[in-house]
Amino acid sequence: MHFVRAKGILSAKNGMNLYRGCSHGCIYCDSRSRCYHMEHEFEDIEVKENAIELLEKELARKRRKGMLSTGSMTDPYLPLEKETQNVRKALLLAERYGFGFTLITKSSSVLRDLDLLKSINEKTKCVVQMTLTTCCEELCRKIEPNVSTTRERVETLKQLHSAGIPTVVWLCPILPWINDTEENIKGILKYCIEAKVYGIICFGMGLTLREGSREYFYKQLDRLFPGMKERYMRAYGERYQLNSPNNSALMRLFHQICAENGIAHDNEQIFEYLNTFEEKQDTVQMGLFD
């Protein structure tokens, strides 16, 4: 872990990254790609020491409220979050200034902040997004070694739903010849149905590889799945998009099961939902007559 001072914290669309780098060890992580210009070791987490100070200044001067988001590049609930508590501080600011919030994680540690998630959701909207890749615990520990297992994430989704927090699942990546099976997709969708998720984001059955992430991924394939790297190289070469040979059939299965169970499965619809700021009517009325 090392500290830097940032010049700004929010993007034009109110996204933020409180940390850069990750210690989860997922073998397929796109954030390792060289195009993101990370000038330090990926596991040496960069902490923006003035992030909360910058966030408060930016929220205080915003004329319009909206949805804040984090987790697109780095999981916000890294082990060091227990020490820095930057995510919790950001949630406190969102709650204080009346902004909505959504975050993407693979960690059950999000439940630490359930009180704030509920408080934000009572005023506006707070959505927790969770990535699921496999219904097999053994495979999960191989490809996502230092983070909550699938079952732990599903239990987290269930607890969030019970607390009234809407949830969205990212079904990705689906690795060719590793987890691109009908059994796996059905297993994940069964979990999503049980957890009563609002929607599932899926861009196709496969993964993307860029310079930087490709080398790491192939190194891990050599370690965990001997001979698999050569199979990938023969099938895909240096392609960015690696679609599963089962993509069409698995996507039909995905859309069918979601439709039958009332789960949103249109990516544009889900992103519109995530980005739309809402103020709860009761909160607005209370504010008028306080």
Whether residue 93 is predicted with pLDDT greater than 90 in this model: the reply is: yes
Q: What share of the chain is helix, strand, coil (3-state, %, to 5)?
A: 45, 15, 40
Check residue 287 and give its pLDDT. 46
pLDDT category of residue 280 using cuts at 50, 70 and 90 = confident
Alpha helices in 98-199 (DSSP H): 114-123, 137-143, 150-162, 182-195
Distance CA 9, CA 15 (A): 8
pLDDT category of residue 288 using cuts at 50, 70 and 90 = very low
Torsion on CA atoms 61, 62, 65, 69, rounded to nearest 10: -100
Whether residue 183 is predicted with pLDDT greater than 60 in this model: the reply is: yes
Whether residue 51 is predicted with pLDDT greater than 80 in this model: the reply is: yes
Instruction: Read off the tokens for 141.
Output: 């520990």
Whether residue 26 is predicted with pLDDT greater than 90 in this model: the reply is: yes
Whether residue 136 is predicted with pLDDT greater than 50 in this model: the reply is: yes
Judge whether 124 and 278 are in contact, CB under 8 Å: yes
The answer to whether the Cα torsion of 29, 32, 38, 43 is positive or negative is positive
Average pLDDT over residues 126-141: 98
pLDDT category of residue 148 using cuts at 50, 70 and 90 = very high
Reported pTM: 0.94
Residue 166: what residue type?
Answer: P
Check residue 283 and give its pLDDT. 52
Q: Report all structural domains of the chain as residue ranges with CATH numbers, in order of start.
A: 2-289 (3.20.20.70)
Check residue 49 and give its pLDDT. 94
Strand partners, 147: none
Instruction: Read off the tokens for 188.
Output: 């994940």
Nearest 5°: the CA angle 194, 198, 200 is 85
Instruction: Read off the tokens for 125.
Output: 């909207």
